[in-house]
Structure 1
Amino acid sequence: MSSECKGKSSWPELVGVKGEIAAATIEKENPFVTATIVPPGTSVLPVILCDNVNVFVDENGIVTSTPIIG
């Protein structure tokens, strides 16, 4: 589904980076999305949205998985 969305759709290079830095980088590299930092234990709906990127972080605020559109 993300192939239908505009701009860059995944950021594997941000795994291991602070969540705030990752979110800013994502929004700079793709102005069509908003990056949302998702703390551990937070539930997210399994909905694909072309204007959202969830940034999953650990208890230290470090990105734990590749942020992708959706």
Structure 2
Amino acid sequence: MAGKFEVYKDKAGKFRFRLKAGNGQIIATGEAYESKTALMNGIESIRSNAAMAELVDMSDAPAPAAMQR
């Protein structure tokens, strides 16, 4: 089963989405958008850019100095 984007309004009345895997697990959530049009543009941006997005593995990089305190 393919994943799906679920669109909803949060408690503040902003538009948000969550991306669910085929098994129903939430794998990503979106920021708050002022309008449904802006939200849909955000989803389309993810759809068009994700397939060609570069993977940058920073898991072995030292933590920024501010986080080492």
- TM above 0.5: no
Please report the TM-score for the alignment, with normalisation by the length of structure 2: 0.27
Structure scoring higher RCO (CA < 8 A, sep ≥ 6) equals 1
Please report the TM-score for the alignment, with normalisation by the length of structure 1: 0.26
Structure index of larger Rg: 2
Higher normalized helix content (fraction of residues): 2
